[in-house]
Structures are given as structure tokens and as C-alpha cells.
């Protein structure tokens, strides 16, 4: 075997070792949070209160995205609560029923997550609390 071939094999082995190491290392999820300033609530939407789980969006390495926390619409007249950044958006619009009000009853309320990144409440009336933890989806490409 020539030195050039041996060097090429060594580089290929090193690249494979790096890939295996990356696959074996634990993958910490990425988090967007109102408390961290990485989610900005829009149109008079607010977190429910300081005793509730803060509004968060968690993205895992496999592309799964989970919402956490609860919102209060206050006097919001526009239904867009916040906008997801690029890389966190689904590739299609979808709607999920959500719990509303303190007694966690399901009314005619849904969260619509749009491919534009807008997270909107489709509602009737003005619920006092909207729990968003039922919102889950997977985006196309996993984190590397």
C-alpha cells in the first residue's frame, strides 16, 4: 500500500470516529422561553401567572417540538400569541385542541401552529387560561 492510500484510510477512519462520537454523546434539547427572552408574547398575550410553568417551546435533537406552559389572552383582540423562529416551524399548518380556563375544561378553543411560525388561538369567548402543553409536532430535519 502506498503512503497516499494509507493517509486516505486514516482520514476516513478519523471522520467515522467523529461521527460515532457525535451519535453517542447526549443531545441536550434547545429551549425557547419567555423568561429567557427568546419568545416574545405579542398582542397583549401574557403568561398566566408566576405559579404556572413558564411559556416554553422545547426542540429535541430528533426534530420533535413540545410546547409547555399556559397563556392568558387578557384583552388581546388579535389571536397571534407569538411567532416561532426559522428552524422551529412546522412544514404545514395544523390545529390542536387545548384546555382552557382554570378548571381545564376543553371549550371550543384550538391552537393553530402555522408554517409561517405564527402561533394563534382559534377561540370562542375569552378564556381565562389556555394550557398549551398539548401542542407537539416534528419538524423535517433533526438537529445535528
Which of the four pLDDT bands, split at 50, 70 and 90, describes residue 107?
low
In whole angstroms, what is the distance from residue 94 CA to residue 134 CA? 13
Which of the four pLDDT bands, split at 50, 70 and 90, describes residue 52?
confident
Highest averaged pLDDT of the listed ranges 44-48, 107-111, 120-124: 44-48
Task: Judge whether residue 142 has pLDDT over 50.
Answer: no
Give the distance, in angstroms, between the CA of residue 60 and the centroid of all CA atoms in the same chain.
9
In whole angstroms, what is the distance from residue 70 CA to residue 91 CA? 24
Reduced to 3 states (helix: H, G, I; strand: E, B; else coil), residue 129 is: coil
CATH superfamily name and code, 27-138:
Phage tail base-plate Siphoviridae RBP, head domain (2.60.40.1830)
Domain ranges in the chain are 27-138
Check residue 144 and give its pLDDT: 45
Closest to 106 in 3D by CA, of 118, 122, 92: 122
Would you say the pTM of this structure is higher than 0.85?
no
In whole angstroms, what is the distance from residue 117 CA to residue 103 CA? 29
Higher pLDDT, 125 or 92: 92
In whole angstroms, what is the distance from residue 6 CA to residue 108 CA? 67
- Name beta bridge partners: 120: 80, 112
Amino acid at each position: 500500500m502506498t503512503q497516499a492510500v494509507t493517509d486516505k484510510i486514516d482520514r476516513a477512519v478519523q471522520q467515522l470516529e467523529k461521527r460515532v462520537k457525535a451519535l453517542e454523546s447526549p443531545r441536550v434539547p434547545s429551549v425557547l422561553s419567555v423568561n429567557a427572552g427568546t419568545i416574545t408574547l405579542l398582542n397583549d398575550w401574557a403568561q398566566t401567572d408566576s405559579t404556572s410553568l413558564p411559556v416554553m417551546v422545547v426542540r429535541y435533537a430528533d426534530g420533535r417540538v413540545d410546547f409547555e406552559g399556559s397563556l392568558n389572552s387578557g384583552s388581546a383582540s388579535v389571536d397571534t400569541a407569538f411567532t416561532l423562529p426559522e428552524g422551529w416551524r412546522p412544514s404545514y399548518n395544523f390545529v390542536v385542541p387545548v384546555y382552557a380556563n382554570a378548571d381545564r375544561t376543553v371549550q371550543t378553543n384550538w391552537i393553530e401552529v402555522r408554517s409561517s411560525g405564527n402561533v394563534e388561538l382559534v377561540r370562542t369567548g375569552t378564556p381565562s387560561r389556555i394550557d398549551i402543553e398539548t401542542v407537539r409536532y416534528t419538524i423535517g430535519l433533526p438537529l445535528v
